[in-house]
Amino acid sequence: MTTQAEELLGAQVTGADGKVVGTVEQVFRDDVDGTPAWARVRSGKTGRFVPLGSSQVTRDGLSVPYDTQKIMGGPSIDAGQHMSAAQAEELSRYYGLTVPTQQSQQARQTQQTQQTQQARGGLTDEEWLVRQEERLQVGKEMLETGRIRLHRYVDVEPVEQAVHVYHEEYDIERMPVNADERTHDFSEAEQEIILHEERAVLRKELVPVERVRLIARRVEEDKSFRDEIRRERIEIEPEQQLAQSGMQSDTNTRRNPGR
């Protein structure tokens, strides 16, 4: 992987099973060639390591060829700011990577030492002042901030709807007859009619009216963090200043002979 370590910090890590494992919190380089070799992935309050040799940087972040269960089941290692050879070997064995033998490791360290001495002109470490400084690395982690739940209830409410209906009632209709109307013998007779009415019939049906679901909306923002870093400074001290410092030390000794 030729990607710079700074570009991987905060990248979203996706496993081979398509699940998001977490985000890259820290990147550890190889002690020999200085290339990014391991990444600490932060998932909640847990941090696990993944190898970067076979990983790929995608548009969505960092894709690793190991599933989430494999990554989260890895050894818990406290590497601090530097990963030791023993820690790297333990992780390599867990992921089934080729672990260099102790002899080859010593040969690599010897070669690195020789290259360093050649770059310094053959001088030893005692002839150099090494200046150090702290550099701030900002990582990101995924935290759970809350839970939102949709619940479907059943409400009962009264409804009223007007329906136009009718019913039949009886009425007696009388009409006079003229003299030409035929007569009949006295006898009993009857007439019957059937009365009708309309009644409302209630029927219910289920009708889908809406789809509702919860989705997480990603809101991006920039935040500033403040901290302090330390930096060593190397300056030249003139001989006169060194002499004055020595004289002050002798004066203090004469004033306080018992000290």
CA distances in angstroms from 54 to 65, 92, 95, 97, listed in the order given: 7, 13, 11, 11
d(CA 216, CA 147): 11
Q: Give the model's confidence band at 82: pLDDT under 50 very low, under 70 low, under 90 confident, else very high.
A: confident
Per domain, the residue ranges of the chain are 1-118
Of 71 and 257, more confident: 71
Q: What is the pTM of this model?
A: 0.39
Render pLDDT for 19-55 as a digit per residue (tens, 0 to 9).
998 998 888 888 777 788 888 898 888 888 999 888 8
d(CA 120, CA 113): 11
pLDDT of residue 190: 92
CATH topology of domain 1-118: Photosynthetic Reaction Center; Chain H, domain 2 (3.90.50)
Render pLDDT for 141-158 as a digit per residue (tens, 0 to 9).
888 888 899 999 999 999
pLDDT of residue 8: 84
pLDDT of residue 259: 45
88 in the Ramachandran plot: left (φ > 0), alpha (ψ -120 to 50) or beta?
A: alpha
Strand ranges of the sheet holding 20-29, from the earlier edge strand across to the other edge: 46-51, 36-43, 20-29, 12-14, 61-63, 56-58
CA distances in angstroms from 38 to 27, 44, 64, 147, listed in the order given: 6, 19, 11, 33
Residue-by-residue DSSP string for 189-213: --------B----------------
Render pLDDT for 202-244 as a digit per residue (tens, 0 to 9).
999 999 999 999 998 888 888 888 888 899 888 888 877 666 6
